[in-house]
Amino acid sequence: MPSPKGPPELKHLDHVLVTPAAIKRRIAALGAQLNRDYAHKDLMVVAIVNGALIFTADLLRQMRSPLRLDCLRASSYHTGTRAVGEPRIVDQMKLDVKGQHVLLVDDILDTGKTLAAVAGLIKAKGAASVRTCVLLDKKARRAVPFEADYVGFEIPNEFVVGYGLDFNERYRNLPCIGVLRPKYYGG
Ligand code: IMP
Ligand code: MG
């Protein structure tokens, strides 16, 4: 039986970086900012799944602007906790971005390669504007120059899981953002 306090995998965390209450407060603030910035615009939100799924679901419910949602899937080859090689778009969007104001949402900005590639692609398809929103920003890991327009939290250079972020597709359901104990990622 799962504990009433949360999934048993919470025990795999070395420590919690961002609590559920802090995530909730920050998403309310981001939502308010987006509502101001896009007050008179019809918005197309593009979530990079699976990682951005939970963040996007909570963020969208704070937003008052008329909007549509689409998803795309990007993938890099991974060895352990490190992405190697260039990200590839493996599942394309369904909606046409031409002439649209696009808000790209991802879970975390790490090397910057994924968002730089996807933002470039959407601009090339003729979007009217492209902005990016990430829950987490690991500035120390940047490999290409890229900054998000909206950032939930800046975090230190540690591999994190929870609230949509995974290790080997696990831990996405944790309600907080935390650092895995090394024995669980073989570090
Ligand atoms: P980037 O292309 O290096 O910026 O990486 C972006 C993707 O790598 C994110 O969308 C995540 O899926 C994954 N990623 C980067 N850092 C972490 C982490 O600390 N935990 C889990 N996934 C991560
Ligand atoms: Mg991801």
In angstroms, the Cα distances linking 97 to 28, 52, 162 are: 26, 19, 30
| d(C-alpha 9, C-alpha 164), whole Å | 14
Q: Is the CB of 111 under 6 A from ligand 1?
A: yes
| Band (164; pLDDT cuts 50, 70, 90) | very high
| Band (31; pLDDT cuts 50, 70, 90) | very high
pLDDT digits (tens, 9 = 90+) for 55-71: 999 999 999 989 999 99
pLDDT digits (tens, 9 = 90+) for 44-57: 999 999 999 999 99
* Ligand 1 atom at minimum distance from 106 CA: 10
Q: Is the pLDDT of residue 104 over 90?
A: yes
Q: Is residue 150 part of a domain?
A: yes
> Is 58 one of the annotated active-site residues of the chain?
no
Model pTM score: 0.94
> What does the pLDDT read at residue 86?
81
| d(C-alpha 106, C-alpha 149), whole Å | 12
> What does the pLDDT read at residue 79?
65
* Cα atoms in the Cβ-side hemisphere of radius 13 Å centred on 99: 0
Q: Is residue 18 part of a domain?
A: no
Q: Is residue 162 part of a domain?
A: no
The token duo for 1 is 């039986």
Q: How many domains in the chain?
A: 1
Q: Do 83 and 113 meet the contact criterion of CB atoms below 8 Å apart? A: yes
Q: Is the CB of 132 under 6 A from ligand 1?
A: no
Q: Do 94 and 69 meet the contact criterion of CB atoms below 8 Å apart? A: no
Q: Which CATH number belongs to the domain containing residue 66 in this structure?
A: 3.40.50.2020
- Segment 17-41 mean pLDDT: 97
* Ligand 1 atom at minimum distance from 109 CA: 4
Q: Is residue 14 part of a domain?
A: no
* Residue 17 CB coordination number (10 Å): 18
| Residue-number span of the structural domain to which 100 is assigned | 23-156
Residues with CB under 5 A from ligand 2 (ion): 51
Q: Is residue 9 part of a domain?
A: no
Q: Is residue 95 part of a domain?
A: yes
Q: Is the pLDDT of residue 89 over 60?
A: yes
Q: Is residue 43 part of a domain?
A: yes
Q: Is the pLDDT of residue 126 over 80?
A: yes
- Segment 15-39 mean pLDDT: 98
Q: Is residue 36 part of a domain?
A: yes
